[in-house]
Each structure stands twice: as structure tokens, then as C-alpha cells.
Structure 1
Amino acid sequence: MERGSSKHAARVDDRMSDEVRGEVQGIPGGRAEEWRTTEPPGEDQPGTTEVLDDAESERFSRFGRYVGLSALPGDRDALRRSAQDLQAPDDILDDLDRLPEGQTFQNLAEVWRALAE
């Protein structure tokens, strides 16, 4: 007795497996149908083209450990309070003090960009 799908013929099974091969095997651009391609970010959404080098990625990660996500969205004072609650070192607190006053940050990436300016 041969094991296989009892719902479809072998030809249909082969076609169906070809349709998802790119997703299953992780082949870049391997989506079988156009409607499965990802859409670009909207006008109000951040792009994903920014890539940090290893050193900057490590600094961003360290910075993010001391800013609680519950403080976001938040302004400079809310972020600083959160960092103090998480016992952030002085250099992190100094960075937060450099943020512009009165600006509300939606996520850590916005905070990081503001510090880079």
C-alpha cells in the first residue's frame, strides 16, 4: 500500500508543493504568486531599510535594555523615569537628557535617530 494524499491526485499535490516551496525553503523572492509578495510600508509606517553595523547594533541593544517599552510612546521625561526605574547607568541617562524637550517618541528607533542628530 502506497502512502500519500487521499484528497488529491499526485499531480495536484506536486503543484501545491511547488506553490509554497519558496516560503518553506526560504528562497528570497520565492513566492509563487504575486499576491503573496509583501507590500511596502505605508506612509505612516517606518521603512525597514535601515541596517545597523555590529557596533551600533550592540549600542542600540544596550540602550534598549534600559528604556522600558511601557514608557513608549513618551517624551524625554517619561523615558528618563523609565530608565531610572531600570537602574540605567549614567551614560544612558546622559543620552536621554540630550533628547529634545516636548517631542513624543513612538518607538526606540525614533529615540535612537534623535540621539544621532
Structure 2
Amino acid sequence: MAGKTIPKDIQQEIFARVDQFNQQELQMEIRYVVKFKGMFLYLNRADFGGRPQPIARLKFTGTIDGWEFVIYKYSHDNYDPDELMFPGTEHLDGTIEGAMRCGLEAYSV
């Protein structure tokens, strides 16, 4: 895949999808926020007005609905690609929405 960053049009689509998910599926005190670094999208969640905390890292594979998901492990303070057993994995379908649903179960509020 050409390029080392997520294209701007994909980034804009992600912002729109996260905003829609936040409005339709979460309470007002809880929201997902994202940041981008190279080919990675960092999915963080702010609960009850707090500072956003890491949930997962998604790697862009060239398509908006084909993300590779890696959970954040608080016990090791890192993103662990070898961690495969955690609640919510049934939601992982390559989409941003599936990753956010997984995060809600893996780190319940």
C-alpha cells in the first residue's frame, strides 16, 4: 500500500463515524475520541468528563472497513497484538463501529 499515513478523506470519514456513534449509542458523559499517527488510529474513550484513556489501536489496511485491531492492556501499559482473549471480540468485524463496540465490553463503563 502506498503512503505511510491515513488519507485525509478517510480521516474525515472516521471523525464522522465516531461522532455518529457517540451521539447514537453512548450517554452524554461518555465519548470516543481518536487520534492519528502514521498508519494507526488510536481509539480512546473519555468517561464522565475525564481525560481520554486508551482502548485500542487500529491499523489502516487500505480500506475504511478493514482495520486491524489491537487492544490496549493496562496491566502492561501497551498495545498487545498477542492478546486475543477479552470481552467484545465478537464485535470485531474490521469496522470502526465494531472496534468501539468491542471497547465498550472490554472496558465497560
The alignment's TM-score, normalised by the length of structure 1, stands at 0.29
Q: Look at both structures and tell me which one has the larger radius of gyration over its CA atoms.
A: 1
More helix by share: 1
Identify the structure with bigger relative contact order (alpha carbons < 8 Å, sequence gap 6+): 2
Higher strand share: 2
Taking structure 2 as the reference length, the TM-score comes to: 0.31
